[in-house]
Structure 1
């Protein structure tokens, strides 16, 4: 049984997703400032490795970075609801730039569902103007 990674074109497709995403992030007013100016290539590679590994490709992310631990790795960044929504907006543009022949609808839905779960999981700040929680 082949993996989703293999079914959608492997490394080439996940490279396109990551490159398309980061091409937008560089000038984005919410996400752009979260990235060090001297590590765009590294950030793009890490995203590509993570997505490829998650969908059945090589374990490059684990080999180079260790276990993903996404919440811990992103804790220092102010990810509020607006940032998560923007991440999804830019990721959707990147994913939609890849034709349906390369990523058929069923696989596209699986990838998108995962991206929505990841974006929600990474929220670590309240939105500005949100009343403080009453639970202490």
Structure 2
């Protein structure tokens, strides 16, 4: 029996580099959403102002990655699907979200092994948020 490789850190949060690196990822994600025409549908779904979304995603990701529970300390359980129901999320929005986050992970130099794991988890979570067929 072969022992499975253990990641180099106890949590993805530690592996990523803590709060400064999570903040850099979130900032790049929203900057790309604003800059790249390929993410136009995703950007349109966020309304004119991104500051609140940036802050909430940072708080959420810290906890989701195994770090401080900033989001739940402020708002309780994330209830992601319920909180996203007011927004029209289909395959196009899901795919743009995942592509934008993957590009942000690449540009902020998230470790390739961690990036691959997170991309899969981000896809599953984004797919769960879908509330329209296309």
TM-score by length of 1: 0.82
Please, which of 18, 21, 31 is the counterpart of residue 23 of structure 1? 31
1:87 matched to 2:97? The reply is yes
Q: Distance in 2 between matches of 1:104 and 1:74?
A: 29
> What residue number does 1:13 align with?
21
Unpaired segments ≥5 residues, structure 1: 128-136
Q: Distance in 2 between matches of 1:50 and 1:68?
A: 8
Deviations 1:99-136 (A, max 9, x none): 2xxx3232222211211111111110122xxxxxxxxx
Deviations 1:58-88 (A, max 9, x none): 0100012221111000001000101101111
> What residue number does 1:104 align with?
111
Please, which of 48, 52, 64 is the counterpart of residue 37 of structure 1? 48
Q: How many equivalent pairs are there?
A: 123
Structure 1 segments (4+ residues) deviating >4 Å: none
Helix, strand or coil at the partner of 1:53? helix
TM-score by length of 2: 0.83
Checking the alignment, whether the CA contact within 8 Å between 2:28 and 2:108 is kept in structure 1 is no
> What residue number does 1:66 align with?
76
Higher helix share: 2
Checking the alignment, whether the CA contact within 8 Å between 2:45 and 2:87 is kept in structure 1 is yes
Q: Distance in 2 between matches of 1:15 and 1:86?
A: 20
